[in-house]
Amino acid sequence: MVMLVDVPRMTAWIRDTGAERIIADIAARLEADYARWPQFDKVERIAAHSPIGVIELMPIADADRYGFKYVNGHPANPARGLQTVTAFGAYADVHTGYPLLIAEMTLLTALRTAATSAMVAKRLARPDSQVMALIGNGSQSEFQAMGMRSALGISSLRIWDTDPAAMDKIERNLVPQGFTIYRATSAEDACRGADVITTATADKALAQIVADAWVKPGMHLNAIGGDCPGKTELDTAILDRASVFVEYEPQTRIEGEIQHVPANFPVTEMWRVITGEAPGRRNSAEITVFDSVGFALEDLTALAHVADAVEGTAYAGQIDLVASPDDPRDLFGMIATSTEASFAEPTVGRIHAA
């Protein structure tokens, strides 16, 4: 049997544990995994693009564990009542090849993305940062706010979205969580007075969501929306004035804000900052940009955290996913020994955690 954390179980675990606590826990674990970056077998994600979206497979492994995530990005989905992004993942034992966990990863991706932003902000944002601009108030936005509060103590938000309903949604969700929210009249207004700017837009377009003139000395830009070829959020002039940090450079050159700059444009992979091989923020006036496209190591870390956190609890289900004949060499025997199918419909119900 393989551990299963499906949508009801994932939802119950997050509600009972608390999203902000989980984000902080994953961020701490991410820092430990980034510190051993050379130990991972890394590759750019494998993408299947269409005119209306993308489907991606994100694999990674170290000497003991293998993981992958299946994820899509379809910006037009909300107009059809569907999520822009959905995902699931698998976590496996390298020594046997057997899967250990199958998990929902739409919610988990939001948590790990916020955890990555939090880990990076501790190194790149000014420690005295107090105000965060959130441009793009979709599915990722609340998690991003919680990540910055866990990392920097920020609880003052300036929000902007072209869809007023998205702004209504984030106010409805975050005011009860203790955030103070200013509803901006434009993206420029949102950036005014911010210490940290997070862009989390969905449109697959070469956009300039943040203009160079709006970025002041000392700001930290957390650009998480640009994550595929032909999709950007920042005025490229910002990059020329900033120190730019990435996850996995070969992937970010294809998908990130730096897809438009020369191949020799200097960037720093975050693992080098974590290990002390390269500096993070060097002074209070420096502009820092985290050109984040999401990387498979973050998914592996999140899957490992879930596996450890829920094993042996009501949040961990089981799925009979691996054929296990009595004789490992006689797979055919599983279908040849009986003329009657042995199958029962699974029981589906709500998860009530103890």
Which residue numbers are catalytic?
227
- For 86-108, b/e burial (b = at least 16 CB within 10 A) is bbbbbbbeeeeeebbbbbbbbbb
**Residue 207, CA distances (Å) to 5, 232, 278 in order:** 37, 5, 30
**Residue 206, CA distances (Å) to 20, 51, 203, 234, 255 in order:** 32, 14, 9, 9, 11
Q: Find out whether 31 and 332 touch, Cβ atoms under 8 Å.
A: no
Q: Which residue has the tokens 């979709």?
A: 138
**Residue 228, CA distances (Å) to 95, 293, 332, 351 in order:** 33, 8, 44, 36
325-330 long-range contacts, CB within 8 A, separation 24+ = none
Q: Find out whether 160 and 134 touch, Cβ atoms under 8 Å.
A: yes
Distance CA 222, CA 119 (A): 11
How would you classify the pairing of strands 268-269 and 232-234? unpaired
How would you classify the pairing of strands 65-73 and 131-135? unpaired
Residues whose CB is less than 8 angstroms from the CB of residue 352 and which lie 6 or more positions away in sequence, other chains included: 12, 314
Tell me 270's DSSP state: H
